[in-house]
Amino acid sequence: MLLVCAAAGFSQGCSDAGFCTINGIKSEIFTNPGNTKNNRSTLKTGLAAGNTRYDVWMLNPYLDYSLQINSAWSISAKATGTWRYGKATSVGGLSDLIISSLFQSANKVGIVGAIKLPLSTSNRKLNNKSLPMAYQTSLGTIDLILGFQLIQSNWLFVAAWQQPITQNNNEFLMSAFDPEELGHVYPETNRFVRSGDVLIRVAYSHGLKTLKKNTLLTYSILPIYHLKDDEYTNPTGEKVVLAGSGGLTINANANINREITNFSNLELSVGFPFIARKVRPEGLSQFSLSLEYTVRF
């Protein structure tokens, strides 16, 4: 039996804006088309933990359902949530809903289309003062996502683009807080304008068979390029460029996926950026660890 694997990452985590974990973009090299008639549905549930460069810790539960329409076409819906804890406060709630579709031809060339819908306004407040993005449960933008994949033996190559088509309602200004309230100096994101991202993923998988069970190991490199510097509006109403917020982040991911039964798997994933943008106003993570359970029916 072939195993299904997922990348280490989550919405607002692993230095991406949520699209590296979408079906067809994540490290999902092996599929089992022979089971599509009898096991067309896949349900995944997981929990990811991580921290940001501002010492805000995160727990991110998620639920992902996929339906295999035929041997080439599948559709998916993924709902995410988060709980965040730092010096200033703790927050929790729903994050995003991602609806995606993957068309994969017989020669293992795939096209991915998706939309990310926020389940939060990204303007949670403390004492009537808007919190920085590191304490928000979602980026708060509606995003369009387009990706292409190529599978060659044990290798996966992906290129993808994510573009916000709306912006969020965050009103954070550092001047509203006393310096000791937040514990760190955060980039200001009042009327935040976030740029799009492009990524490339190169992943390699190989299997092991121990105790009559299959295990799949996957390693990937994930460069993400933030297309230009983000912007915010200062207290006088002027647009200000957040210098250093654009540019390159390179993530390393590794995961191990263990067959539990013929129709279920358990996976442990880890990811971290070893090259990162100088300024990450959206509060993306420095490190993530996740555990995921998959069942097909």
Its pTM stands at 0.88
Radius of gyration of the chain (CA): 19
* Whole-number pLDDT of residue 212: 58
Q: Give dist(CA 127, CA 105) in Å, integer.
A: 53
37 band by pLDDT with thresholds 50, 70 and 90? low
108 band by pLDDT with thresholds 50, 70 and 90? confident
Structural domains in the chain, sorted by start: 19-296 (2.40.160.40)
Residue 49's closest CA among 15, 17, 83, 26?
Answer: 83
Percentage above 90 pLDDT, the chain? 65
Query: What are the backbone angles phi and psi of residue 123, rounded to the nearest 5°?
Result: -140, 45
Tens of pLDDT, residue by residue over 162-193, are 999 999 999 999 999 987 899 888 999 999 99
DSSP alpha helix (H) spans, 13-147: none
Q: Give dist(CA 208, CA 61) in Å, integer.
A: 28
Contact 201, 25 (CB under 8 A): yes
